[in-house]
Amino acid sequence: MALLEIIEYPDKRLRLASKPVETIDARIRRLAADMAETMYAAPGIGLAAIQVGEPLRLIVCDVHAEGEDAKLLTVINPEIVATEGEVAMEEGCLSLPGIFEEVRRFAKVGVDYLDLDGERRHIDAEGLLAVCLQHEIDHLDGKVIFDRLSSLKRKLAVRRLERFKAEREAKEASAQKNA
């Protein structure tokens, strides 16, 4: 297994529409395992393949609470087939460092997908898992949190992201000088 590099906004690849996975072979299983390792190390609760530069409809997520066992979910070629209600939750994104924004989404979603064995599966999700799945499926369609914000909030958030990245670079530079 290996840690993968997570690409960050404004990398244009985040805007790509990802392609369905045609064959679930050793390469895909390896990618899914590496994505899970990368997500846990970040740490994050969800990761879409495009965030590691692979434009494939493949997602990993794990929303288990602290103290609970890990519940890794690998979702291939997901399709939202049912929605219900509305919820607003503060979301972050591993490709948008330093950004936490309230986003409106469906409160519950039913999702059809393939698992790593190529079996057709269905999950009815609510709460954090429903939000996480919708966030990651957005990535597969080239969307990020910014696209769910008003234009004013979006401008402010983009500025905050730029400031965060500049401060991180300055910190890294001074750490190098002191090393």
| Minimum CB distance to Co ion, residue 149 (Å) | 14
d(CA 132, CA 69): 18
Cβ neighbours of residue 136 under 8 Å, at least 6 residues apart? Answer: 46, 47, 48, 59, 61, 75
| Minimum CB distance to Co ion, residue 174 (Å) | 29
User: Which one of the spans 22-30, 89-97, 112-120, 165-173 is the region binding Co ion (CB under 5 A)?
Assistant: 89-97
| Minimum CB distance to Co ion, residue 23 (Å) | 26
* 172 in active site: no
Residue type, 20: P
Using CB under 5 A, pick the residue from 73, 93, 125, 140 that binds Co ion. Answer: 93
Structure tokens at 72: 């890794």
Residue with nearest beta carbon to Co ion:
93
61 forms part of the interface with Co ion (CB under 5 A):
no
With CB under 5 A as the rule, give the number of residues binding Co ion: 1
| Minimum CB distance to Co ion, residue 107 (Å) | 19
Structure tokens at 136: 């990651």
Listing DSSP states for 53-108 in one string gives: T--BSEEEE--PPTTSPP--EEEEEEEEEEEE--EEEEE--TTSTT--EEEEE-SE
Choice between 24 and 38, CB closer to Co ion:
38
Question: Which residues are marked as active site?
Answer: 136
Binding site for Co ion (CB under 5 A): 93
